[in-house]
Amino acid sequence: MQDSPRQLNQIFLQSEDCVNNSTDVIYPSYKRDEVNIGIVHLGLGAFHRSHQAMYTEQLLNLQGGGDWGICAVSFRNQALQAQLNKQDCLYTTAILDVEDSFQVVGAIKEVLVVKTQASLVLERMAAETTKIVSLTVTEKGYCLNAQGVLDETLPEIINDLASIEQPGSAIGLIVAALNLRFKKGIKPFHVIACDNLPENGRKLKSAVIQFASKISENLAQWIDKEIHFPNTMVDSITPKTEQDTVDLIKNKLGLIDEAPVQREMFAQWVIEACPNMERPEWEKVGVIFTPDVESFENAKLRILNGLHSALAYIGLLSGYDTVYQAISDEKIKSFLVALVDNEIIPTIDAPTGLNLQDYSRAILARFENPKIKHLLSQIACDGSIKIPVRTLAPIQNNIGADRSIQSLSMVVAAWIHFIRVSYVKKQAVHDPRATELLTAVSQFQGNSNEDVSNFLEIDGLLPDSLKNNVSFITPIQKAYAEIASTFKESPFNA
């Protein structure tokens, strides 16, 4: 460690070849200057940098370089672009476990921002050298309606359809770039969706084709025929970067990094195997390629993300701030164990060789990592999109199979309470449907049955099979009343 901290990019000045020059941290071991960009990634959140960019970095290290450098695109975050540019787009991933470890990542070669550089972004996406466009734009970035198809009433889609040369949404950018390639006779790129929604690739493909057909039917057919949109499952718990992470890197490594990321040790990436798809050989660094992504997706979305949402709403109502605090409450932990064993696992067809009970226990243990300060409020956002996938889908399966939905109903009821409490306390609700959710709870009269029924009638919130379905609504009403009367605002701590 140095006496006075060094800027992250200065560590390479001493060594022309970017070789390891410290034992405390892994540095890029390839000639970074010789790496060309082959991937454009849309959505420069912490998760991309802690996950897909890390896998790509490991491959670059293993193969001594290659043309799979990343152009990472943020939609709006000019501050992050400035920070990363200052350090030659290098950043540190802090892996927080019993023993912390650190890796300086060089895979991102360029950072662009759609808001200020839309034409450069399109140019990069349309370049022949770009073979892959990947995305982490969160569930709402797919612009889908409750049926999982492109929602053409969304303002960003209306805008992009009206001016396709100046797109602002991920779907608009993909179609505009493909249109340019199509017209110039350039082979298309393939698209890898990396967000937490079931059949992410398939849904994105149909949204892209639906959008493209409004521009040109030939373009839509070309996309349908030529482009792979593999389904994927992505996993590694990555809380937002905090000042703590910046300080940790400065104190432990003697490095000034304004834009590090933090994550847990565990990471998994499962990608649907597609024949003849030009892509990095990520399988060499542990990525699983399989025809059966669906069972991995379902297991992860319903167990990890499902338990996360349960923890978020129940934990926040109980007065906790982080996943670690909430899971340390024995009552909450026992609730989660019963929820997963009795009402989630029975709804999942396990991927071959995976024992779902062991998988769920390993996930609970991951939540118990005291070094990961994962804010429940971060997980609680966008409930109107997350709850249908994580909670309503297993509820539908259980109703169909005549199994209990008692614990899952508590999660839905806790979510409704979370919205109500946010309204009463005038706390912002981060959700694309925040206005409708807040309007619904503002009209609550204090009668649980009516309040819940009215809330669940919000247009497009529920899948058709659950609308007016007493097998669904009655247990939610009961759970809502139970939380309200027995536990007040601290349901699991009373």
Q: Which residues bind ligand CS2 (CB under 6 A)?
A: 196, 235-237, 304-305, 308, 378-379, 386
If DSSP states are collapsed to H, E and C, what string results for 67-78? CCEEEEEECCCH
Residue 288: CB minimum distance to ligand CS2, A = 15
Residue 335: CB minimum distance to ligand CS2, A = 17
Nearer Cβ to ligand CS2 (205/308): 308
Alpha carbon of residue 311 to chain centroid: 17
As a whole number of angstroms, the distance between CA 259 and CA 257 comes to 6
Label residue 339 exposed, middle or buried (CB < 10 Å: 0-12, 13-18, 19+): buried
Nearer Cβ to ligand CS2 (236/409): 236
Residue 233: CB minimum distance to ligand CS2, A = 9
The token duo for 433 is: 């449907």
Nearer Cβ to ligand CS2 (75/444): 75
Nearer Cβ to ligand CS2 (183/430): 430
Nearer Cβ to ligand CS2 (236/398): 236
Residue 287: CB minimum distance to ligand CS2, A = 15
Cβ atoms of residues 80 and 259 within 8 Å: yes
* 3-state DSSP helix/strand/coil % of the chain, to nearest 5: 50, 10, 35
Nearer Cβ to ligand CS2 (259/379): 379
Residue 190: CB minimum distance to ligand CS2, A = 23
As a whole number of angstroms, the distance between CA 308 and CA 380 comes to 9
Mapping DSSP to helix (H, G, I), strand (E, B) and coil, where does residue 262 land? strand
Give residue for tokens 């994580």. 390
Cβ neighbours of 386 (radius 10 Å): 26
Question: Do β-strands 190-193 and 132-135 pair in parallel, antiparallel, or remain unpaired?
Answer: parallel
Residue 367: CB minimum distance to ligand CS2, A = 10
Residues 6+ away with beta carbon under 8 Å from 58: 285, 286
Give residue for tokens 């669940």. 456
As a whole number of angstroms, the distance between CA 174 and CA 487 comes to 48
Residue 235: CB minimum distance to ligand CS2, A = 4
Residue 490: CB minimum distance to ligand CS2, A = 23
Question: Do β-strands 69-74 and 108-113 pair in parallel, antiparallel, or remain unpaired?
Answer: parallel
Nearer Cβ to ligand CS2 (132/237): 237
Nearer Cβ to ligand CS2 (56/305): 305
Nearer Cβ to ligand CS2 (196/245): 196
Ordered alpha helix ranges (H), 263-405: 293-299, 306-317, 323-327, 330-338, 356-367, 376-380, 383-387, 393-400
Nearer Cβ to ligand CS2 (127/323): 323
Nearer Cβ to ligand CS2 (378/453): 378
Handedness of CA 428, 432, 435, 437 (dihedral sign): negative
Label residue 377 exposed, middle or buried (CB < 10 Å: 0-12, 13-18, 19+): middle
As a whole number of angstroms, the distance between CA 129 and CA 289 comes to 24
Residue 191: CB minimum distance to ligand CS2, A = 20
As a whole number of angstroms, the distance between CA 259 and CA 282 comes to 25
Residue 125: CB minimum distance to ligand CS2, A = 26
Q: Which residues pair with 133 in a beta bridge?
A: 40, 191
Residue 239: CB minimum distance to ligand CS2, A = 8
Radius of gyration of the chain (CA): 23
